[in-house]
Structure 1
Amino acid sequence: MRTAIVATLALVLLSSAAEARVVRLRIERREVVLNGRAFGAAGAYEKLVGKVDFGLDPSNPRNDIIVDLTLAPRDARGEVESSADFYMLKPVDPRRGNGRLFYEVGNRGGKSMLANFQKAAGSPDPTTEAQFGDGALMRQGFTLLWMGWQWDVPERAGVMRMDMPVATDNGTPITGLVRGNFILNEKSATAPVADRNHKAYAPIDPNSPENTMTVRDEPIARGQLIPRSTWRFSDPAAGIVTLDGGFEPGRIYDVVYRAADPKVVGVGLSGARDLISFLKYDSSAENPMPGLRYAIGWGVSQSGRYLRHFLYQGFNEDEQGRQVFDGVFDQVGGSGRGSFNHRFGQASRDALQYFNILFPVDLFPFTDGPETDPETGIEDGLLARAERTNTAPKVFHLLTNSEYFNRAGALVHMDPTGTSDAELPANTRVYMIASAPHGPGPFPPASNRQGDLVGRAALNPLNYSPAIRALFRALDRWVVDDVAPPPSAIPRIAEGTLTTPDKAGWPKIPGYQLPQQPLRAFHLNFGPDWNKGIVSVEPPEVGAPFVAKVPAVDADGNVRSGIRLPDIAVPLATQAGWNYRDASIGAPDKLAGEIGSYIPFARTRAEREKANDPRPSIEERYRNRDEYVGKYAAAVLDLVARGYLLPEDVADLLKHAAEHYEWATKARADHFAFDAGGRAARVDQQWDLHRDDDRPVDIITSVARCGSLIFLADSQSRLFRMDATAARPLMHVIATEDQGIGRPSALTADCDRSRLYVVNSGLRNVLTVDTQSGAVLKKQSFKRELYEARSVSLAGDVLYIGGLWNADEPRGLPARNTEDFFESTYLGERLSLVSGDVTPGFQPYETRCIAAGACTFADLNRIRTASSPAAWVAVQGISTRFAMYDAAGNRTATYDATSPKFLRDGTEIPVHISQEQIERWKSRNSVIRQVLAVSTCIVTVHALTTIGPDWQFGEQPQYSVHMNIYGLDGAGLVSDVRLPDFPIGRDDTHLYAIDYGAKGRRNSADAVTLVRIPITPGPAVVQ
């Protein structure tokens, strides 16, 4: 039941103005979650959405820490007003909660708690089952809270924001310097001066000759002044500047100008202090969740730095001197704080090796305990003020490999001189996730693009959220029950695992070197009034640097210390938290933001030796997938025993291990989706894909069509329907994971009966879906798992499903060596839609597997012609051969693309393949991955890598998807036709494929187009 309430709770200000904190909560929306579904002992949950109004007394000494508060306007009570969005998930019955508040400091107004801790689909307003995930926090009874704390976040639905007062000098506008800093990734005539599409402070005089713009190519270098006549504020209110001739990608630009009306940004810190204190300590009826005894704060990246700043400046003590947070979890905040409490502060700004340069972020002190600045002699610590007021919480700092290169991470646990490890306070733990990126890239690691940022290597997909969940549980037990958490796990100077980059032990991987210039923190001079929060020198004067150190690596290039997750302890690649900028976006010797790298191992010893790669190949490390998964499982259980992983995450991790191994041992060309040249297939119709809710289109995995209706499945367990004849076709969700869709691996339609069949090999089922209503009519399960079930064909009431099926093995994959890998194995299975009986498909035509991990693929399709109503074509995906079968399962013909012979019952038929094409196939180690029967043709689909003479292993090879087309009599061959990607569907006359936009990279930020390709023998298919 959903009930909308627009209400204002009574004033919380019940005594004196000196105690004013939360003035009122305005609950604008109140909804029961998931129609009242019970979350374990906590029962049903509800969602409270609205505004919180604050009143701050400038005369309270505990508010002296808020910069410019005394210059803000006051109301009739003498208080400074502000208000913020808030969002709460709580048990409907507060008595069923666990007494703990879990507060996420939203990164730039967002919400990621449920995605990280409940395995949920991300959403600014969680509503569906998928958006609440497994409900882990809610089943434990936590109250979950978010609050807006920035005034300048972009205007987007669901983004949390705060309305802040403006400081004035007795009503006269205050002015000051503002600096915009940007590095573009493509040439542009215009650029924003604010960070990440945030709102900018407008210049007082856009045309002032005092406004300056400089450009440079090194972070610590004097900028070259750009003549004032060549640039201008083209949109002053939006903070857009224009440069004659355009801005060059990869160069560092600074714009310094004078602005007016600074916000009192420090109320973003006091607001969290006061709201959490109110919820913990207020016992009046106005508190929507009475009985909270503990509060834990969590922040990621920017919001992790927010928490470090919050603690350092004393905001963990409320206006009455009480402790606010009992536990703080700073995730990947690095060593810095931020622009969260100074005049004209830009809260979104961070400080990376080659982005957002020289902002007040990485400033002394860096460690929780006391340390001495070697330049100034000042002694300080992040928790010094909290220790003096007895309000220091229990603290977790979590770092990844990325923070040591981009966020001066070593200073969190190292003496600032770099000579010794810091002594951590008893209430602090520091953990490092070995070889992890700041945030994981997609799996499989098939892209080097994140938005408009392009790296040299594929993105690192190492997902460390299982460790985050385990560490949060440890912090919670430490706070509530005083149970000691796992010990800190970090690189240490004393152990030789924290060192300078030149001594880190990086192997000689062709094409890659360990970055030798990680971000360094500097002594920065922002002017004489910086201690008051006022900047008068921009850019700042740069003083002496602090020491930068990085984690040492092993012979594979993976980090030796910290929490070595199973992907690193039992590796298939070198994974790192850094990535170089691709040459296409400029500055290729600099780091690409905070994205990580995935540098795969060679599959075989021969590949490794050819590439002069010192890292052992996959076949030299593991005999087969079973050995790999066994070692991986041992690493998982070890981390569970040590408290760094949870038992409930084991199954998902082992599933990932099998998927990773299968992906890593496929032909290298299957790893990357880059466009290459060649004759393009003719497209006779195409549709730009748009969802009806305007959200990005994810990777489309399968397509089927009935008349004007097109059905699409995506990688996020959603099934869509689209009217292909509409003026602007929109994808409408008709089924999700809630209906058991899982991640569909293949679709086929029976248009005459308005039925769509959805195959999910992971869940081992087939769903029958009504094409008109989207209703799931029936679910049938496999007897055993099918591996790589990516194709399905309908013949009468029987579905023929591609994949590997084994009669002796309960999970389908034979646990044998490669010599007899295919014994008792069949290509696919038959599933009766009437009886549900499952019978094996066709006998393999390949009888020996090259490597176990490369043999789990099989594709088959029905030949749909009147003359051959029940014939089949199949491919095993490990060679350049395919085969045809009759209705009884007898093989009638085979064909080898590297030999110009088409064999039917032993008879050779010429098919016009050039020797040039044969040699190209052989030289590029191509294999046929798909075989389809369309009209009177057989279509084979393969990938060809494009490797130049200077290519070295470890670099991303380009590959293109090609097809050959044959008439059923062996005549009419069309060869070497390029497709935009592997086909994901077909009907009687056409193939369907996805064009993922710019440079063929599968990234939802690019345009996504569904294309239809007509198939007939002869040159007509080529444009």
Structure 2
Amino acid sequence: MNLRLTHVVPLLVSLLVLASCATGPAERPATLDIVSRAPAFAGTVFDGSGAYEAVTAVARLPSGDAQVLVLQPVDAADSSGVLLIEVVGADGPQLPRMANNGDARHQRADGAGNGFTMRRGHTLVSLRATGAQQLRDAAMLLQAEYISDATLAVGAGQGGRMLRDMIRDGFNLSPMGHKVFDGVLVMMAGGGDEFPFTYGMATDPVSGKSGGIFARCTATATCPKLIHLDSSTDFWQSRASLVATGGTSRDVDLPDDVRAYLMSSTQRFYADRAVQGECQHPNNPAQQSPVVRVMLDHLVTWARDGKAPPPSRFPRIDDAMLTEADRDSVGFPDLRKLGVNYPEGLMPAGPYPLFVPMVDVDGHDIAGIRLPDIEVPLATHAGWNLRRGRANPAPLCGPNGMSLPFAATPRAGDPRRAISQRYPSRIEYAKAVALAARSLRDQGLLLQEDVDSYIERARRESRVP
């Protein structure tokens, strides 16, 4: 346990207040019951932080029990002082994959992937909570057990929406008036299901109500530093444009404590490889994890030291990067001669307008963080795909995007330049990748280790002769 004594007393007092709020004598105080302890990742030793331990536990809370998995450095001296809590939704734990390129099998050495969060020395928690209040209660209990310099939360999909609901409903305020989470990373949550949709103040054109996700925490000075990441698919399927517009037809400014970024031309929960599945076209393997890694580092620095991340990169109406979904407005290339139809006639889900990102001549989102897969492409990557067959009335193919490889040499009916027209040789291709990767690094949008990975991969790229 990594104790920071200056934080212990307020947290313990908060827990006592939390326990005293029980509605009846049968209510029990909050406790963390340890079920098991075991070496994590088969005893793998990570550079800078040593070996990790896996602690399985149950958080016993007045609001109900919550399942907890803690991965922490065996030696407390190796800890970064960051408590990183992932709120696990219906899609299961996503942080191991999105940050580490690994998986949730913490018993296996290969489950660690590249070991990014472990190399940083963070104490990692997977938490399955059932609502905003239980999330707050569990986070406070975990803070008392694993005291840190900064407590951060991460949620993808449903987990991200739960974090937004927690902040919206005022639960980032502890019973003693302190922040529960210092920083929050919301991933692929889209615009949500009910007003308010955005973090700044907006007026709902349907109900006439005014509000914002940060309204309550602003009033109590308990807003976390927050980074919001969406894929391109979230604009097509999860109304992510509402984060920018609040349901109106104009832009809504984000609070100073919020950054929003589009992970350009990626699908929701990226694919390891392009496969067709139930869709008409192969899905979208454009990477997202390099963005997640650099944003985690930014969130730690922002929450702990006050150093803000780069400016938001989210499409807006006033710069024409957020537009109606028809082909002419979006600017998607005409690929019908290749058997690729565009999803025409899409209707908004509910009373709010549907806006999606504008694209370039290859079909790639212009706004957002364009990683080398998109900036120096070998295929068109889109945030939408179409279902096969006519039995299913839904035209879009779930959370899947689409990838359409460029031809090696010019071909009839394809308006996109062929690979031979773009990159005279593999060396020239690798140079272009290196330039794009280093530019992102210099803007604070890519880590050096990912720059190196992109360049090495480009040198071995077999699709470019």
**One-letter amino acid of the structure 2 residue matched with residue 397 of structure 1:** H
Conserved 8 A contact 1:506-1:555: yes
Q: Kindly indicate whether residue 386 of structure 2 is the aligned counterpart of residue 580 of structure 1.
A: yes
Distance 1:313 1:16 in 2: 17
Structure 1 pair 393/17, CA: closer, same or farther in 2 (3 Å)? Answer: closer
- In 2, Cα distance between equivalents of 1:127 and 1:298: 22
Would the alpha carbon gap of residues 516 and 325 (structure 1) be closer, same or farther in structure 2, given more than 3 Å must change? farther
Amino acid at match of 2:212: G
* Aligned residue in 1 for 2:372: 566
2:395 to 590, 600, 604: 590
Q: Deviations over 1:619-666 (max 9, x none)?
A: 11111222112111111111111111110112322343355x424x6x
> Is the Cα contact below 8 Å between 1:602 and 1:617 reproduced in 2?
yes
Work out whether 1:397 is the aligned partner of 2:240: no
Equivalent residue for 1:135?
Answer: 115
TM-score normalized by structure 1?
Answer: 0.42
Q: 1:762-781 residue pairs with structure 2 within 5 A?
A: none
Q: State percent identity of aligned pairs.
A: 35
The residue that corresponds to 1:943 in the other structure is none
In structure 1, the residue matched to 2:11 is: none
- 2:134 aligned partner: 271
Change (3 A) 1:101 1:308: same
Q: Which amino acid aligns with 1:379?
A: S
* One-letter identity of the residue aligned with 1:396: I
Q: Residue in 1 aligned with 2:218? A: 387
Map Cα deviations across residues 506-540 of structure 1 (whole Å, 9 max, x no partner).
Answer: 22112334434456242xxxxxxxxxxxxxxxxxx
Distance 1:38-1:456 versus aligned 2 partners, 3 A rule = closer
Q: 1:148 Cα deviation (Å)?
A: 2.0
Q: Aligned to 1:548, which of 344, 354, 378?
A: 354
RMSD: 2.3
The answer to which structure, 1 or 2, has the higher relative contact order (CA under 8 A, 6+ apart) is: 2
The secondary structure found in structure 2 opposite 1:108 is coil
Change (3 A) 1:22 1:463: farther
Structure 1 position 586, deviation (Å) = 3.4
String of CA shifts for 1:72-103, please: whole Å, max 9, x gaps: xxxxxxxxxx2122110112343442221101
Match 1:662 to one of 430, 454, 462 = 462
Do the aligned partners of 2:43 and 2:109 also contact (CA within 8 Å) in 1? no
Q: CA deviation at 1:330?
A: 0.7
Instruction: Give 1:319 deviation, angstroms.
Output: 3.0
Q: Deviations over 1:202-243 (max 9, x none)?
A: xxxxxxxxxxxxxxxxxxxxxxxxxxxxxxxxxxxxxxxxxx
> In 1, distance between residues paired with 2:200 and 2:71?
35
- Looking at structure 2, the residues matched to 108 and 415 of structure 1 have their Cα atoms a distance apart, in angstroms, of 26
Separation of aligned partners in 2, 1:399 and 1:620:
32
Aligned to 1:18: 20
Write the distance in 2 (CA, Å) between the matches of 1:519 and 1:640.
38
- CA shift at 1:501, angstroms? 2.0
Instruction: Quickly say closer, same or farther: Cα 1:593–1:519, change in 2 above 3 A.
Output: farther
Aligned counterparts, 1:510-529, within 5 A: 510=336, 511-518=339-346, 520-522=348-350
Does 391-400 or 28-37 show the bigger shift? 28-37
Change (3 A) 1:87 1:378: same
Measured after TM superposition, the shift of residue 35 of structure 1 is: 6.5
Q: Conserved in 2, the CA contact under 8 Å of 1:22 and 1:278?
A: no
Shift of 1:428: 0.5
Q: Which has the higher helix share?
A: 2
How do residues 330-729 of structure 1 correspond to structure 2 at under 5 angstroms? 330-336=186-192, 362-418=193-249, 420-443=250-273, 445=274, 447-449=275-277, 454-502=278-326, 503-510=329-336, 511-518=339-346, 520-522=348-350, 545-583=351-389, 586-587=392-393, 590-605=395-410, 608-609=411-412, 612-658=413-459, 661-663=461-463
**Contact 1:470/1:644, CA 8 A, preserved across alignment:** yes
Q: CA deviation at 1:41?
A: 4.4
In 2, distance between residues paired with 1:90 and 1:585? Answer: 49
Q: Distance in 1 between matches of 2:401 and 2:452?
A: 26
Runs of 4+ aligned residues of structure 1 deviating over 4 Å after TM superposition are 12-17, 19-22, 34-38
Point out where structure 1 has 5 or more consecutive residues left out of the alignment.
Answer: 1-11, 57-81, 151-267, 337-361, 523-544, 666-852, 854-1023
Per-residue CA distance 1:923-959 (angstroms, 9 max, x = gap): xxxxxxxxxxxxxxxxxxxxxxxxxxxxxxxxxxxxx
Instruction: Give yes or no for contact 2:89–2:128 (8 Å, CA) kept in 1.
Output: no
Of 142, 148, 152, 2:128 maps to 148
2:169 to 309, 313, 317: 313
Shift of 1:15: 7.5
- SS of 1:329's partner is strand
Q: Distance in 1 between matches of 2:391 and 2:289?
A: 30
The structural deviation recorded for 1:149 is 2.2
Alignment-mate amino acid for residue 91 of structure 1: P
Deviations 1:805-835 (A, max 9, x none): xxxxxxxxxxxxxxxxxxxxxxxxxxxxxxx
Cα distance, 1:36 vs. partner?
5.5
Task: Please give the per-residue CA displacement for 1:179-218, whole angstroms capped at 9, x wherever unaligned.
Answer: xxxxxxxxxxxxxxxxxxxxxxxxxxxxxxxxxxxxxxxx
Following the alignment from structure 1 to structure 2, what is the Cα–Cα distance between the partners of residues 499 and 85? 42
Contact 1:399/1:431, CA 8 A, preserved across alignment: yes
Q: Residues 518 and 432 (structure 1 numbering): CA distance in 2 closer, same or farther, change over 3 Å?
A: farther
What CA distance in whole angstroms lies between the structure 1 residues aligned with 2:259 and 2:33? 38
The answer (yes or no) to whether the contact 1:13–1:19 under 8 Å persists in 2 is no
Q: If the length of structure 2 is used for normalisation, what is the TM-score?
A: 0.89
Query: CA distance change for structure 1 residues 130 and 36 in 2, over 3 Å: closer, same or farther?
Result: closer
Aligned pairs, how many? Answer: 443
Residues 470, 97 of structure 1: alpha-carbon distance in 2 compared, 3 angstrom cutoff: same
CA contact (8 A) 2:150 2:300 kept: no
Paired letter, 2:306: D
- Cα separation, 2, equivalents of 1:297 and 1:15: 23
Q: Distance in 2 between matches of 1:518 and 1:141?
A: 46
Rounded to whole Å, the distance in 2 between the matches of 1:15 and 1:395 is 27
Change in CA separation of 1:48 and 1:513 when aligned onto 2, cut-off 3 Å? same
**Offset of residue 38 of structure 1:** 4.4
Structure showing greater radius of gyration is: 1
Cα distance in 1, alignment partners of residues 43 and 388 from structure 2? 50
**Higher share of residues assigned strand:** 1
1:85 matches 2:67: yes
* Aligned residue number for residue 807 of structure 1: none
CA 1:109 to 1:408, structure 2 compared with 1: closer, same or farther past 3 Å?
Answer: closer
**One-letter amino acid matched to 1:147:** L
